[in-house]
Amino acid sequence: MSSATEWFRKIELARSLVSKGPLPTKAESDAFHIAVAAVNAMDYLLTWNMKHIANAAMTKTIEGRCRGAGFEPPVICTPDGLLAEEEGYVEG
């Protein structure tokens, strides 16, 4: 994929996360953060932002928007959550 096409797809996904939900307009930069991870096929998106990104109430909708745009969403979690998963404290 060309860099221009990739850039457009990131912006398009980020706009979808805001315009169709679940993220509010003031969280556009958070939406772009998610879009960059999804478009670049990152396995994980680690963040301490639990208001708009690592938010269990938004996870299913975020995943649906990513998949609807043709991207597998990253696992979104805090660094502590990833460490717990890696150490076997979380079933999955």
> What is the rounded distance in angstroms from the CA atom of residue 86 to the CA atom of residue 10?
29
Domain extents for the chain?
3-86
Which stretches of the chain drop beneath a pLDDT of 50? none
> What is the rounded distance in angstroms from the CA atom of residue 84 to the CA atom of residue 87?
5
Look at residue 74 in the predicted model and tell me its pLDDT: 97
Largest CA distance in the chain: 41
pLDDT digits (tens, 9 = 90+) for 30-54: 999 999 999 999 999 999 999 999 9
Closest Cα partner for 12 from 65, 75, 76? 65
Look at residue 32 in the predicted model and tell me its pLDDT: 96
